[in-house]
Amino acid sequence: MNRDLSADRTALLSASGCSVEILVHKFLFFLILLPFTTLLFPFLTFHITTSLVNFNLSADWQEWKHHGATQEQAALSDRQEIALAAALTLLTLTAAALGYGRDVRRLTIEPSAGRRYFAPKGDKGSTLTIQIKGLWSQVARQSTPPPDVLWFPSAAVLARAMTPSGRLTVAVSAGLWEKIVTDDLIAKIVLLHELAHLAYRDPPTFIRLGALSGAATRILKQMLRVLIFIVLFLVLHQVIANYNAHLGAATIVRQTLMIAGIGFLALLICPVSAAIIRRYIGLITSLIELRADVRSAQWAGGLDRFAEILSNHPLVHQSTLSDRARSWFSLGLTHLSESERIQLVRSPERLLTPKVQYFFFSLCLVLLLPVNGVTPLFEGGIVDLAAVITVATALSVALCTMFVLSGPTSTRIPLLRLFTVSACAVLFTAACQINLYTLTYSLSTIAVEFGLPNKGTMLRWNEVSSVVMSAFHDIGGQLGNIWSGGWIVVSVLITMAALGGLRIAARGLRRTSDPATGWLIVVAAAGGLGVIIDGYDPWRAFVVENTLLGRAFVGWASITTHFRGIRFTLGPCLSLTSMLILSTASRWIRAGRKATRMPDTMQNP
Amino acid sequence: MDQSDELSLWLANAWLRASGDEIQSLVVEDLREQVEEGRSMADGLASLSHSERQAGDFGMEIAGTLLAPVLVELLKDFWVGYFKKLGESAGGAVAEATTKRVKDWFLSILHKKEDDKVLGDLRDKVERLAAHKKLTPKEAARLLEALRGPKLLQELETK
Give the range of the structural domain holding residue B143, as residue numbers without chain letter: 3-49+65-158
Q: What are phi and psi of A472, to 5 degrees?
A: -65, -35
Q: Identify the CA nearest to A163 among candidates A126, A111, A116.
A: A111
Sorted by sequence, the CB contacts under 8 Å of residue A118 that are 6+ apart come out as A150, A151, A152, B26, B30
Q: What is the pLDDT of residue A518?
A: 61
Q: Identify the CA nearest to A306 among candidates A170, A352, A316, A284.
A: A316
Q: What are phi and psi of A407, to 5 degrees?
A: -55, -55
Q: What is the tens place of the pLDDT at every residue in A329-347? A: 999 899 999 999 999 999 8
- How many CA atoms are closer than 13 Å to the CA of A389, on its beta-carbon side? 21
Q: Do A194 and B58 touch (CB under 8 A)?
A: yes
Indicate whether B57 belongs to any domain: no
Q: What are phi and psi of A316, to 5 degrees?
A: -80, 130
Whether residue A20 contacts residue A307, with contact meaning beta carbons closer than 8 Å, is answered with no
Q: What is the pLDDT of residue A290?
A: 94
What is the signed CA dihedral for A32, A406, A604, A518, rounded to 10 degrees? -90
The mean pLDDT value for A295-301 works out to 89
Q: Is B54 on the interface with A (CB under 8 A)?
A: yes
Q: Give the per-residue SS3 of A500-558.
A: HHHHHHHCHHHHCCCHHHHHHHHHHHHHHHHHHHHHHCHHHHHHHHCCCCHHHHHHHHC
Task: Kindly state the percentage of chain B with pLDDT values over 90.
Answer: 19
A568 bridge partner residues:
A561
Q: Is A107 on the interface with B (CB under 8 A)?
A: no
Q: What is the pLDDT of residue A49?
A: 92
Q: What is the tens place of the pLDDT at every residue in A58-116? A: 888 887 776 655 555 678 888 999 999 999 999 999 999 999 999 999 888 877 767 88
What is the identity of the amino acid at B151?
K
CA separation for the pair A453, A441 (Å, rounded): 20
Q: Which of B58, B133, B136, B142 to mutate to test the interface with A (most CBs of A within 10 A)?
A: B58
Indicate whether B55 belongs to any domain: no
CA separation for the pair A315, A278 (Å, rounded): 31
Say whether pLDDT at A600 is over 50: no
Say whether pLDDT at A534 is over 60: no
How does residue A269 score in pLDDT terms, banded at 50, 70 and 90? very high
Q: Which of B13, B28, B62, B71 to mutate to test the interface with A (most CBs of A within 10 A)?
A: B62
A560 bridge partner residues:
A569
Degrees, nearest 5: CA angle A330-A336-A338:
130
* Chain B residue numbers touching A172 (CB-CB < 8 A): none
The mean pLDDT value for A132-144 works out to 85
Chain centre distance of CA A497: 26
Degrees, nearest 5: CA angle A440-A444-A449:
150
How does residue A207 score in pLDDT terms, banded at 50, 70 and 90? very high
A 161-220: CB under 8 A from B: 161-162, 173-179, 181, 186, 190, 193-194, 197, 202-203, 206, 209-210
Q: What is the pLDDT of residue A603?
A: 32
End-to-end CA distance of chain B, in Å? 17
B 59-98: CB under 8 A from A: 59-66, 68-69
Q: Do A190 and B27 touch (CB under 8 A)?
A: no
Say whether pLDDT at A601 is over 60: no
Q: Do B26 and A153 touch (CB under 8 A)?
A: yes
Degrees, nearest 5: CA angle A336-A138-A411:
50
Angstroms from B20 CA to nearest CA on chain A = 11
A569 bridge partner residues:
A560
Q: What are phi and psi of A172, to 5 degrees?
A: -115, 150
Dihedral sign (CA A337, A338, A344, A347): negative
Whether residue B40 contacts residue B64, with contact meaning beta carbons closer than 8 Å, is answered with no
Indicate whether B60 belongs to any domain: no
A498 or A43: which leads in pLDDT: A43
Q: Do B62 and A121 touch (CB under 8 A)?
A: no
Q: Identify the CA nearest to A156 among candidates A339, A336, A338.
A: A338
Sorted by sequence, the CB contacts under 8 Å of residue A457 that are 6+ apart come out as none
Say whether pLDDT at A571 is over 60: no
CA separation for the pair A87, A586 (Å, rounded): 57
Of the listed ranges A15-24, A253-262, A495-504, B17-26, the least confidently predicted one is A495-504
CA separation for the pair A160, A151 (Å, rounded): 9
Rg for chain B, CA atoms, rounded: 16
In this structure, the strands spanning A148-152 and A169-173 are parallel
Q: In which element (H, E) is residue A330 found?
A: none
Neighbours of A26 (CB within 10 A): 18
What is the signed CA dihedral for A495, A499, A505, A511, rounded to 10 degrees? 180
* pTM score: 0.84
How does residue A596 score in pLDDT terms, banded at 50, 70 and 90? very low
Q: What is the pLDDT of residue A562?
A: 63
Of the listed ranges A100-104, A414-418, A459-463, A573-577, the least confidently predicted one is A573-577
Q: Identify the CA nearest to A177 among candidates A124, A112, A115.
A: A124
Sorted by sequence, the CB contacts under 8 Å of residue A552 that are 6+ apart come out as none
Whether residue B67 contacts residue B21, with contact meaning beta carbons closer than 8 Å, is answered with yes
Indicate whether B23 belongs to any domain: yes
Mean pLDDT for all residues in chain A: 82
* Chain B residue numbers touching A121 (CB-CB < 8 A): 26
Of the listed ranges A396-410, A477-491, B89-103, the least confidently predicted one is B89-103
Q: Is A324 on the interface with B (CB under 8 A)?
A: no
Q: What is the pLDDT of residue A576?
A: 58
Indicate whether B105 belongs to any domain: yes
CA separation for the pair A278, A220 (Å, rounded): 12
Angstroms from A484 CA to nearest CA on chain B = 43
* Chain B residue numbers touching A338 (CB-CB < 8 A): 60-61
Q: What is the pLDDT of residue A308?
A: 92
CA separation for the pair A328, A345 (Å, rounded): 18
Q: Identify the CA nearest to A154 among candidates A135, A179, A136, A130.
A: A179
Whether residue A368 contacts residue A272, with contact meaning beta carbons closer than 8 Å, is answered with yes
Indicate whether B85 belongs to any domain: yes
CA separation for the pair A603, A5 (Å, rounded): 10
Largest interatomic CA distance in chain B: 55
Degrees, nearest 5: CA angle A134-A136-A140:
135
Say whether pLDDT at B21 is over 80: yes
How does residue A216 score in pLDDT terms, banded at 50, 70 and 90? very high
What is the signed CA dihedral for A78, A80, A85, A91, rounded to 10 degrees? 170
Q: Do A154 and B50 touch (CB under 8 A)?
A: yes
Q: In which element (H, E) is residue A313 found?
A: none
Check residue A173 and report its DSSP letter. E
Say whether pLDDT at A549 is over 50: no
Q: Which of A278, A295, A335, A342 to mutate to test the interface with B (most CBs of B within 10 A)?
A: A335
Indicate whether B119 belongs to any domain: yes
The mean pLDDT value for A442-455 works out to 77
Say whether pLDDT at A48 is over 50: yes
Q: What is the tens place of the pLDDT at every residue in A396-430? A: 888 888 887 787 777 888 999 999 998 998 888 88
Q: What is the pLDDT of residue A537?
A: 65
Q: What is the pLDDT of residue A575?
A: 55
Q: Is B50 on the interface with A (CB under 8 A)?
A: yes
Q: How far is CA A187 from CA A214, A281, A282, A528, B62, in A?
A: 33, 28, 26, 47, 10
Say whether pLDDT at A278 is over 80: yes
Q: Identify the CA nearest to B110 among candidates B157, B151, B159, B153.
A: B153
Number of domains in chain B: 1
Query: ipTM exceeding 0.85?
Result: yes
Which DSSP string corresponds to A110-172? SSSTT---B---HHHHHHHHHHHHHHHHHHS-TTSPPPEEEEE--SS--EEEE-GGG--EEEE
Q: What is the pLDDT of residue A592?
A: 55
Q: What is the tens place of the pLDDT at every residue in B28-79? A: 999 999 888 888 888 888 888 777 788 888 888 888 878 899 999 999 988 8
Q: Is B58 on the interface with A (CB under 8 A)?
A: yes
Q: What is the pLDDT of residue A255?
A: 86
Of the listed ranges A123-127, A169-173, A480-484, B65-69, the least confidently predicted one is A480-484
Q: Give the per-residue SS3 of A28-76.
A: HHHHHHHHHHHHHHHHHHHHHHHHHHHHHHHHHHHHHCCCCCCHHHCCC
Mean pLDDT for all residues in chain B: 84
